[in-house]
Structure 1
Amino acid sequence: MFQSRTHTCNELRIEHVGQQVTLVGWMENVREVGGNLAFVILRDFYGTTQVVVETEDMMKLVKSINKESTIRVEGIVRERDSKNPKLSTGDIEVLPSKIEVLGRCRYHELPFPINRSREADEAARLKYRYLDLRNPAVKGNIVLRCQVVAALRQAMTDHGFLEITTPILTASSPEGARDYLVPARNHPGKFYALPQAPQQFKQLLMASGFDRYFQIAPCFRDEDARADRSPGEFYQLDMEMAFATQEDVFAVLEDVLPPIFAKYGKYHTASSAPFTRIPFAQAMDTYGSDKPDLRIDLTAVDATALLADCGFGPFEGSVVKAVPVTNFTATRKQIDKLCADVEVQSGGKVYWFRLDEKGELVGGISKFLQDRKEAVTAALGLKPNTFVGLTAGKKLAAQKTAGVLIKMLPALAPEHMDKERYAFCWITDFPMYEIGEESGELEFCHNPFSMPIGELEILEKAHRGEVDPLTIMAYQYDLVCNGVELSSGAVRNHDPEIMIRAFELVRLGEEDVKAKFPAMYNAFCYGAPPHAGIAPGVDRMVMLLAGEDSIREIIPFPMNKNAQDLMMDAPSTVSQKQLDELHIALVEPEA
């Protein structure tokens, strides 16, 4: 064995009865039965073992030890009179001849019960994360994360990818989220930036002649937290392939991910190759989202021509989307709550009506539809006892509200969701450009280094005014699983001429591109291969596999929603000496 123990706390079985053993771990609990009899639960990383105290001296010693102290127990294994079939060590117990305190817990009261730490306030859990992680259920998520990362590494290596680490201190990127900046002590007034992603480095590796690259890459973005996004840092399975197409990238992940999800996931069924491919425009129109949950069999139907002139005010001049739901038995109170919840999340209202068991239109806005009952029934393919949720507004708003409605409906109509599986899909053909909300001008929609579909020819047509730039699609794709976006990827724009023409549409010329991306532009001028890649989020993958709703549950030491590490008290102030060395002066914000 190793260290000072002969066995772990999950190792002893009936065949060990009579053996002299040494166990170490945390004293989880003490249950006094009376007199000099007590049962001590000893816990280590691997499990628990019951220790039975039967003498006055041992009882006195155990009473002097606070729970969660670390101890060593030497003793004889014996068969339990009252076995516990729920425990792997439930057939035995240890009668101690010696108990030694290795690390004393100096607090009689803990911030929370260890085995019920997940019920505690989140701030307390984050401040005392080292105690929270002693909970086997919490620790299990971190073990799962380790297993998944190891499996990803092995799978990528088996596919011929080389794991190459890229720099953590790099240059600030003018695109994407806010950078975390690091002052350069030897270069006053200049800053490094922590990488938002290894995007440029991995493309430079392709230009350097490496064929297949990957890494479990740390990424740093100064952005707000949400349930599926941790503030500060996150990890992704970053990969890039030379001389590759979109389909080459798809083929790798369709081979790598399903076995890992099936083996380690809460659900043991995952989509097999090929994953469903859905163009972005179709996804928005059919599912109201570019992150559809394909476990749900509900879709949105365009009902504008059918209902816009029905006399119901919100439909006039609007795009109308309808979501029919068969065998719907929810009450009016449940429907009202559903509509309210959708509005809170989407900002758009939901209207509704029903085709009852007698084939009559009832409830909601049904009074506006009586004169076109047959047309509505036929157009929407309605059967008796069908609920129809309706959204209206500008096209995108109507679509997004319908998308939120679709994802909430299974709570009232569970038969429309095959919950216990992992359903993957690719969202493809994203727009290359969009009108910026703040600028009101043409901007890149996602990654500016993506190859436009149509390449140089389509860009030249846009420059000549023959094509609306907003209609240009890109070889960009998202990987979605169960309604969660795992990753964005693209076929890269590796041709400097195409790159310049793409940037000129957003008012940036060749000199701007050279100044903002000097290394990549120059490398491509020396002959770069066509290349493509993607970077699925490790944190989000493990969150799905563990069946958790919050990404903080699968990160060893997460920050809170305000990007604070309550355990380490970060961010924190630093000394004036440190600031002087870095040539930094603090300016207090105005009141």
Structure 2
Amino acid sequence: MRSHYCGQVTETLLDQDVTLCGWAHRRRDHGGVIFVDLRDREGLVQVVIDPDVPDAFASAERVRNEYVLRVIGRVRRRPEGTENPNLPTGAIEVLARELEIVNRAEPLPFQLDDDDTSEEVRLRYRYLDLRRPAMQERLRLRARVIGALRRLLEERGFLDIETPMLTKATPEGARDYLVPSRTHPGSFFALPQSPQLFKQLLMMAGFDRYYQVVRCFRDEDLRADRQPEFTQLDIETSFLDEQGITDLMEDVIRRMFAEVLAVELPNPFPRMPYETAIQRYGSDKPDLRIPLELTELSDLMAGVEFKVFANPANDPNGRVAALRVPDGGKLTRREIDVYTEFVGRHGAKGLAYIKVNDVAAGREGLQAPIVKFLPDEVLAKILTRTGAENGDLLFFGADSAKVVNDALGALRIRLGHDLGLVKGEWAPLWVVNFPMFEWDEHDQRWNALHHPFTAPRTDDPAEVQANPGRCLSRAYDMVLNGSEIGGGSVRIHRQEMQNMVFELLGIDAEEARAKFGFLLDALKFGCPPHGGLAFGLDRLVMLMAGVASIRDVMAFPKTQSAACLLTQAPAPVTETQLRDLNIRLRRTP
């Protein structure tokens, strides 16, 4: 029905006939001549309808916004002074010879150029929201990213292999979406949280370089960068250690950024141990564009009488740290109160601070209620260690290490953006040397920090068992601008090590056999050393598009409550469907 997309009609087609299809973006009647901005996924072109072409003109008079049109006409240069330099098609226009109204449109529930439309309305009428040029460009970007990644991986010998959507429930750190089986009454499939075990089995089968763009599902509480169903680029390879895997994946991401955004990322990406990231930035995914850092003060506070600092300083699980804000002394008390409320949402009971008016004046040059509780020598060491200068502000965190890290880590990001401290556009980073396990105080048990198939940095199971709290894993995360965009590890490839890790995690032999018997069996039959990672494509494209939510780079996302406003899912099903599945619902109060 068409010869060209609207956005492709440029000066190269001058004096040529074109046939275009699209939506009426805007119609203007200028004293007898009608102009229609015709829009499709590639862009916008101006169509001119002259009264000298009566049939086309009569049709144009009936056109309203979002009518679907087909136009046949000749490309000509716009009159001098009417060009639009903001459009690729801005130097030309199409003089219509024919104009067909293919379909009419009722008045829209919102205007496509209204940026203040609520997200609820946008999701309810998502097919209209997706007509907006901004949304179309984001999905086009997404397609370019995925296309480039596929090609770059296949150039390096990776095979695209699909894994099952209906599988078995396994512990991955979140709740599974369960699917009842009609043919096996009382039994359930689970939608995959990731293809983790299947891709390991593919390594055991000899497909030493696998990838897949795969949909995954997690029934968990949502945030701006999470959805119940999401897309990841899943990768696994054999006979490479963590250095080889990360070098390979870093090269793929660097090449993709260069091709899609014309951005040159650093070569190589910096690497940072997990412990360093936590100590300096309060986070295992630090945004290195922000120069602020945490300073450890626990040793200085261990001997002070001020219990707000002394108690956590003397607690093995506590921490006292400071965050220096250059020139932060200009912050008002009202602004500091806002930040105090902010850290409270991350578990902090308060936010102590010191304004540094004059370093040379010692105590007299410091302004804050807490100054009177700290000895002169401690204050002097705080100023020296933090590198404080005149006009700076020091924020303090004193609590459990987790609360201090969460609160000051989040405050660091907030201040960086509020005060315009973000430097540079892109800051990639590998975080490495993660702990293998973390202790769960509530359940009094060890949990895997990544997942139970991650290999420790030692090959001796007895060494892991003897001191799990000090054991490091062969895991790695790729971080970009403070967001984890990819994570993975070298996997356990020996059955004895896998059995021992299951045991440490409280999974006894009977449970391990019931849940993972197929994996344990496969490990016995010549399993190669292997590892991989998965990139969160939604989050990666979100960062590349410069938007704040992954919902803005997904065609049909869910809400924060995991509902689809467009289709009204989830929804009740009939009694017949439930009976076929041998399911009876409890009555809801």
Instruction: Tell me the TM-score normalized by structure 2.
Output: 0.92
More off after superposition, 578-587 vs 119-128 = 578-587
- Counterparts of 1:357 and 1:134 in 2: how far apart (Å)? 58
- Counterparts of 1:298 and 1:585 in 2: how far apart (Å)? 56
Q: Counterpart in 1 of 2:383?
A: 377
Q: Counterpart in 2 of 1:508?
A: 507
> For this pair of structures, how many residues does the alignment match?
573
**Amino acid corresponding to residue 157 of structure 2 in structure 1:** G
**Pair 1:411 & 2:408 matched:** no
Evaluate the alpha carbon distance shift between residue 412 and residue 41 of structure 1 in structure 2; reply closer, same or farther with a 3 A threshold: closer
Contact 1:174–1:516 under 8 Å retained in 2: no
**Pair 1:317 & 2:319 matched:** no
Evaluate the alpha carbon distance shift between residue 303 and residue 60 of structure 1 in structure 2; reply closer, same or farther with a 3 A threshold: same
Contact 1:539–1:551 under 8 Å retained in 2: yes
Q: Deviations over 1:476-503 (max 9, x none)?
A: 2222111101222111111111111222
Gaps of 5+ in 1: none
More off after superposition, 123-132 vs 510-519 = 510-519
- Counterparts of 1:346 and 1:453 in 2: how far apart (Å)? 33
Q: Counterpart in 2 of 1:217?
A: 214
Contact 1:342–1:408 under 8 Å retained in 2: no
- Counterparts of 1:200 and 1:582 in 2: how far apart (Å)? 28
Deviation at 1:348, TM superposition (A): 4.6
- Classify the secondary structure of the residue corresponding to 1:552: helix
2:227 corresponds, among 225, 230, 233, to 230
Evaluate the alpha carbon distance shift between residue 90 and residue 329 of structure 1 in structure 2; reply closer, same or farther with a 3 A threshold: farther
Gaps of 5+ in 2: 313-318
Q: Counterpart in 1 of 2:192?
A: 195
Evaluate the alpha carbon distance shift between residue 570 and residue 437 of structure 1 in structure 2; reply closer, same or farther with a 3 A threshold: farther
Q: Counterpart in 1 of 2:265?
A: 270
1:160-175 equivalence runs, <5 A: 160-175=157-172
- Counterparts of 1:289 and 1:444 in 2: how far apart (Å)? 18
Q: Counterpart in 2 of 1:399?
A: 405
**Amino acid corresponding to residue 487 of structure 2 in structure 1:** S
Deviation at 1:393, TM superposition (A): 0.8
- Counterparts of 1:157 and 1:169 in 2: how far apart (Å)? 27
Deviation at 1:509, TM superposition (A): 3.0
Evaluate the alpha carbon distance shift between residue 270 and residue 124 of structure 1 in structure 2; reply closer, same or farther with a 3 A threshold: same
Structure 1 segments of 4+ aligned residues over 6 angstroms from their partners: none
2:72 corresponds, among 61, 71, 74, to 74
Contact 1:78–1:95 under 8 Å retained in 2: yes
Evaluate the alpha carbon distance shift between residue 364 and residue 22 of structure 1 in structure 2; reply closer, same or farther with a 3 A threshold: farther
Evaluate the alpha carbon distance shift between residue 249 and residue 94 of structure 1 in structure 2; reply closer, same or farther with a 3 A threshold: same
**Pair 1:121 & 2:118 matched:** yes
- Counterparts of 1:282 and 1:370 in 2: how far apart (Å)? 29
Q: Deviations over 1:227-280 (max 9, x none)?
A: 11112x111111111122111211111111122234434x8342322x222222
Instruction: Tell me the TM-score normalized by structure 1.
Output: 0.91
CA RMSD between the two structures: 2.2
**Pair 1:247 & 2:247 matched:** no
Q: Counterpart in 1 of 2:295?
A: 301
1:261 corresponds, among 238, 257, 262, to 257
Deviation at 1:197, TM superposition (A): 0.6
**Amino acid corresponding to residue 165 of structure 1 in structure 2:** E
Q: Counterpart in 1 of 2:315?
A: none
Deviation at 1:69, TM superposition (A): 1.3
- Counterparts of 1:370 and 1:251 in 2: how far apart (Å)? 50
Evaluate the alpha carbon distance shift between residue 309 and residue 409 of structure 1 in structure 2; reply closer, same or farther with a 3 A threshold: farther
Q: Counterpart in 2 of 1:562?
A: 561
Contact 1:348–1:401 under 8 Å retained in 2: no
**Amino acid corresponding to residue 40 of structure 2 in structure 1:** D
Contact 2:346–2:406 under 8 Å retained in 1: no
**Pair 1:47 & 2:43 matched:** yes
- Counterparts of 2:453 and 2:380 in 1: how far apart (Å)? 51
Deviation at 1:542, TM superposition (A): 0.6
More off after superposition, 162-171 vs 382-391 = 382-391
- Counterparts of 1:354 and 1:45 in 2: how far apart (Å)? 54
**Amino acid corresponding to residue 28 of structure 1 in structure 2:** H
Q: Deviations over 1:259-313 (max 9, x none)?
A: 2234434x8342322x222222222111111111111222111112324555544
Q: Counterpart in 2 of 1:88?
A: 88
Percent of residue pairs bearing the same amino acid type: 39
